[in-house]
Amino acid sequence: MKPRIAISVGDLNGVGIEIALKAHKKISALCTPIYCINRYMLNQACELLDVEIPADFEIFEVEGSFNIREGCVDKDSGRYSYDSFMSAVKLCEDKKADALVTMPIHKEAWMLAGLHYKGHTDLLRDYFKKDAIMMLGCEKMFVALYTEHIPLREVASHITKDKLLRFLLDLNRAIPNKKFAVLGLNPHAGDNGVLGNEEREIEAAIEEANFILKEELFFGAIVPDTAFTPHFRASHTHYVAMYHDQGLAPLKALYFDESINVSLNLPIIRTSVDHGTAFDIAYMGKANTLSYENALKCAIEFI
């Protein structure tokens, strides 16, 4: 029997629903997708895209209706994307779906809708009371983020041995026996304290994690500006970045179209596209489905 995958449709003013419709035939060969959207909103989106609804397009009815405004930041689309996501989460909790794949939401639209979460992972962390780990990438390179959506000025204060140790051990539980290059925070990884002392905390956490695991699975602190060179990447595929742009700027420069987002250390399986709502091309028929297809394949692999 094919796995059942709940699909949250994301912000309906963006490209998520177009991607779902475009890729439906291909992914239906791999799984049974369940799209969390109601018939009214689906019909409206299909009219804007000038496409027919596939005959086998299974939906889970999510209440709500509004006028889609392609490419606009809107509180109604923000709220509906949240409701679609939570419906998909509950399908997984109730064992009616084996995994969850999410289309992109718009953080400002969530804020306008009165939702205080900064994104899917932040919500999942609060909902399950678990330290969810955000990891992004593709087969060629994955980056786990130690800190995510916080101001850059706050990153250094978050780097302590105990916090990072918990993160590394949780990461190992989620992906056992995988080796990770752990990046330093400062230029030249601090140059032994000349440019900063955060690397001492990083190295202490790495040493203790390896001692507990009885295997050298984490190493560093690696100099950030050489960690993504072709020579280093030839023998290393998994990284821990200290902050969002440190890991995602090189990842997206190298593998933007194919990268995905995986939420680790949770009681459900959740993967996502690694791109935004792309309001600038919404309902123009230009959306790329590769990240979505890869996210779905990854979700199936985790089942």
Which pLDDT tens digit goes with each residue over 73-129?
999 999 999 999 999 999 999 999 999 999 999 999 999 999 999 889 899 999 999
Q: If you average pLDDT over every residue of the chain, what do you get? A: 95
* Contact by Cβ (8 Å): 170, 162: no
Round to the nearest angstrom and report the end-to-end CA distance of the chain. 13
Residue that the structure tokens 């809107």 belong to: 74
Residue 284: pLDDT above 90? yes
Sheet with 4-8, edge to edge strand ranges:
59-60, 32-36, 4-8, 99-102, 270-273, 260-264, 133-138, 141-145, 238-241, 180-183, 218-222
Distance between CA atoms of residues 235 and 227, nearest Å: 11
Which amino acid is present at 90? K
Angle at 100 between CA 112 and CA 102, to 5 degrees: 40
Structure tokens at 12: 């309906």
Q: Each residue of 13-24: pLDDT tens digit?
A: 999 999 999 999
Structure tokens at 153: 């000025």
Classify residue 259 by its DSSP letter.
-
Nearest Cα residue to 295 out of 251, 258, 266, 241: 258
Nearest Cα residue to 198 out of 218, 150, 206: 206
Length of the chain: 303
